Amino acid sequence: MSAKPRIAAFYSRGTHYPRLLRFLREEYPGCELTAVVPPGYPERLLEGACDRMVRTARDHYGAGDAGELRALVMQLRAERFDAFVVMFPSIKLRLLAKAAAARAAYVYTADRRFEPVRLNPLAEAADLLHRNARGRLAYAWIACVVRFRRVGK
């Protein structure tokens, strides 16, 4: 008999972490669900949402924290997860998901998309340009609405 699949959900600031845990519990009811959370994260918020909790050494890791990042990656690799899930499609989090050396890595976004992590340099560049253009267009639209829309009529 095979062991239960081990899935880890990596915490990032945002309101949808509990929603991610509920999604994983519903989609993979037979798994061992692990919440990877920063120090000080209240355990009471995770009661019943996961099977176990793993705490990271820090609550934030920056690009300049090479030693701490390496320790985090080694901690995650030692857990030998079958799947590792991050909450945002940032390059930093996708790299962490791949570095965790789980069999599969996924992104669960705020708009409830659940996708495999892909790291293709050309696709990354195209995605970055696309998101940048969308952001600039959204900002320009908002600026136009604020500047030209009449209020009160």
Q: What's the farthest any 2 CA atoms get from each other in the chain? A: 70
Tens-place pLDDT, residues 44-91 = 888 888 999 999 988 888 777 788 889 999 999 999 999 999 998 888
Tens-place pLDDT, residues 126-150 = 877 898 899 999 999 999 999 888 8
Tens-place pLDDT, residues 92-116 = 888 899 999 999 999 998 788 888 9
More confident residue, 124 or 50: 50
DSSP string, 68-109: HHHHHHHHHHHH--SEEEESS--HHHHHHHHHTT-SEEEEE-
Q: CB–CB of 24/46 below 8 Å?
A: no
- When pLDDT is cut at 50, 70 and 90, the band that residue 153 belongs to is low
Q: What residues does 55 pair with on adjacent strands? A: 37
More confident residue, 112 or 34: 34
- Between CA 66 and CA 70 the distance in angstroms is 6
Q: What pLDDT is stored for residue 1 in this prediction?
A: 39
For domain 6-118, the CATH architecture is 3-Layer(aba) Sandwich (3.40)
Q: Where are the alpha helices (DSSP H) in the chain?
A: 17-27, 66-79, 91-99, 121-148
Q: At residue 29, does pLDDT exceed 60?
A: yes
Tokens in use for 101? 């050396």
Q: Supply the angle between the helices 66-79 and 91-99 in degrees, to the nearest 10.
A: 50
